[in-house]
Amino acid sequence: MRKVVCLLSGGLDSTVLATQLRNDGREVLALSIHYGQRHARELRAAARVAEELGIAWDEVEAGALNVLLGGSSLTDDSVAVPHGHYADETMKATVVPNRNMLLLAMAGALAVSAGADAIAYAAHAGDHAIYPDCRPAFMDAVRQVLALANWTPIGLETPFADWTKAQIVQRGVELRAPLGLTYSCYEGQATHCGRCGTCVERREAFTLAGVADPTTYA
Ligand SMILES: [Zn+2]
């Protein structure tokens, strides 16, 4: 049973990925990282998802990274969370500089120390427009780095790289992933705001997938 470290944010995509890896018979070590996000609501969701899936879960408190990641509405209180469609130009305010390189580097470190031979993250095609660190060219570069950076090469698995979020929702339903436990909203309130880019994307994905949305929106 090949062990894999799966970045688990507590959102939809990573929850479906963790479920898929587990159902494939992999030994999954889920990793959630607090990198200084304004709210940790999503990480509480990650803990519940991991418990529901019966997989191991590690949480890393790296909130001090916040000082490196200013200027994004996700990490900087002085930048407002934009409302609207997730593909809008305004959504660039939600880009956290270099975030996935930091998170994948940490996941790679855990993989080596935990005896896993791969890491997985759930970037998908819908992320490509706004987030450079979700694009296939970035993934290929990280694959090369992970192969070079350790005595034991660590693989990078990105099975949703070419998928839409609606396809991920469909897969989640097929796999009986605990979608109702997931949390996406950038605002961090108890209920999803329904207006920020990620709420809009989440709603749209359920609609396009033709699946009932278990989310309560404000
Ligand atoms: Zn929201």
Above 90 in pLDDT, residue 92?
no
Quickly tell me which residue has 């992970």 as its tokens. Answer: 146
Of 104, 109, 106, 110, nearest to 122 by C-alpha is 104
**Average pLDDT for residues 8-20, to the nearest whole number?**
97
**Both tokens of residue 120?**
């997985």
Measured in Å, residue 178 CA sits from the centre of ligand 1 at: 19
Close Cβ partners of 130 (under 8 Å, ≥ 6 residues apart): 86, 87, 91, 92, 94, 95
Measured in Å, residue 63 CA sits from the centre of ligand 1 at: 22
Picking from 20-24, 46-50, 128-132, 143-147, which range would have the lowest pLDDT averaged per residue?
128-132
Quote the pTM value. 0.92
CA–CA distance from 159 to each of 62, 79, 153, 180 (Å)?
27, 32, 19, 22
What pLDDT score was predicted for residue 103?
94
Above 70 in pLDDT, residue 104?
yes
Q: Which helix (H) or strand (E) holds 27?
A: strand 27-34
Of 38, 34, 32, nearest to 63 by C-alpha is 34
